[in-house]
């Protein structure tokens, strides 16, 4: 019992270090990307600022829409430019915000704050694009953010890459002996939120382990006829996304 309690206390206080692995950047850091881009800093309050990179289609092409991309909870936006290629080729802008404490975004992260800032980015997109021109994309941890956003605002489509059912469910697959529904600081209940989303939902697995996890199997049961659940290889990723954008 002592060991159970001691380990439980340790994992409770260390859980965010497992889930969130940011790489911070100084405010004067100069991004260098292959694609054209704009850097936008959105002040939230005295402590928090959202650093948003807007990748743009080539040759001043008028964008057909925008992909709001929520990356995995590691590194920062500078590590994810390659993920924009397929969308830019299809004529979309790609906007990637960094979470609080990631990259040049300031503040301390929390689920509430991350969700609120995601809505701020969506409101900015709404000023330039119609709902049917806005694709929301979430990669692993970012899938939780994306699904929460898509459950409460109109969009063209939601694409989730290597998602989990919920954060407590993710933790339970690693340490099932603890009551993660009450212990987890983050919830991001993707499985529940999917049922509230009116737009088409496309779920793509590029990770075989994630695709075969109990969490993904629970998620697949939430998919209805208008949605799609796909397992693909990294080499076939772009062709899979191309097809999703055409469906």
Q: Which domains does the chain have, with CATH numbers?
A: 2-246 (3.40.50.1820)
Q: State the average pLDDT for the chain.
A: 90
Contacts of residue 155, Cβ cutoff 8 Å, sequence gap at least 6: 131, 134, 135, 136, 149, 199
Nearest residue to 205 via CA among 234, 165, 243: 234
Global confidence as pTM? 0.94
pLDDT at 6: 67
Looking at per-residue confidence, does 60 or 220 come out higher?
A: 220
Nearest residue to 188 via CA among 221, 220, 224, 143: 143
pLDDT tens string 100-139: 999 999 999 999 999 999 999 999 999 999 999 999 999 9
Reported as half-sphere exposure (CB side, CA atoms, 13 A), residue 213 has a value of 21
Alpha-carbon gap, residue 75 to 56, rounded angstroms: 22
Alpha-carbon gap, residue 134 to 155, rounded angstroms: 5
Q: Where are the alpha helices (DSSP H) in 72-166?
A: 85-89, 111-126, 141-150
pLDDT at 209: 65
Kindly report the backbone phi and psi dihedral angles of residue 160, in degrees, each rounded to the nearest multiple of 5, phi listed first: -115, 130
Can you give the length of the chain in residues? Answer: 247
Average pLDDT over residues 76-83: 96
CA distances from 5 to 12, 60, 113 (A): 10, 59, 30
Torsion of CA 247, 115, 119, 108, to 10 degrees: -130
């Amino acid at each position: 019992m002592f060991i159970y309690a001691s380990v439980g206390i340790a994992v409770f206080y260390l859980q965010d270090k497992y889930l969130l692995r940011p790489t911070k950047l100084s405010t004067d850091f100069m991004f260098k990307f292959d694609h054209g881009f704009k850097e936008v800093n959105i002040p939230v309050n005295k402590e928090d600022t959202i650093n948003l990179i807007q990748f743009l289609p080539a040759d001043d092409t008028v964008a057909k829409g925008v992909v709001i991309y929520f990356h995995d909870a590691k590194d920062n936006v500078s590590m994810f430019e390659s993920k924009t290629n397929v969308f830019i080729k299809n004529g979309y802008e790609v906007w990637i915000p960094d979470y609080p404490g990631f990259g040049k975004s300031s503040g301390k992260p929390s689920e509430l704050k991350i969700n609120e800032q995601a809505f701020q980015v969506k409101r900015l997109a709404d000023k330039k694009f119609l709902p049917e021109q806005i694709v929301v994309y979430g990669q692993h941890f970012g899938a939780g953010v994306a699904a929460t956003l898509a459950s409460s605002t109109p969009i063209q489509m939601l694409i989730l890459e290597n998602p989990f059912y919920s954060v407590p469910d993710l933790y339970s697959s690693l340490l099932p002996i603890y009551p993660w529904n009450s212990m987890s600081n983050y919830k991001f209940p993707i499985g529940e939120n999917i049922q509230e989303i009116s737009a088409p939902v496309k779920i793509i697995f590029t990770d075989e382990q994630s695709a075969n996890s109990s969490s993904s199997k629970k998620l697949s049961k939430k998919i209805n006829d208008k949605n799609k659940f796909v397992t693909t290889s990294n080499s076939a990723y772009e062709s899979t996304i191309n097809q999703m954008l055409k469906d």
